[in-house]
Amino acid sequence: MATEKQVRYTMYLLSTRGFSTRYMNAQFKALGATMRERSGMVQDWVASRGFREISSLIDNLKAMSEVR
């Protein structure tokens, strides 16, 4: 499971990259969320990621350019 610090950082990265931070949507498919997972809340999905998954997600988000 992701740590609280990882969850907070991921939520920050999601918001700066233009992703919703409340409800999942089709954008999250690009981040590996399944259709079933995309019907829930973003924070719940992020918190449920395993250690390797959350690390990979953070790396992918950091590689994306910020939305301005």
Please state the domain extents for the chain. 4-63
Per-residue pLDDT averaged across 7-27, rounded?
Answer: 97
Residues 29-54: tens digit of each pLDDT: 999 999 999 999 999 999 999 999 99
**∠60-63-66 over CA atoms, to 5°?**
110
Q: What percent of the chain has pLDDT over 90?
A: 93
pLDDT at 66: 78
Q: pLDDT category, 68, cuts 50, 70, 90? A: low
Q: Which two tokens stand for residue 15?
A: 């918001």
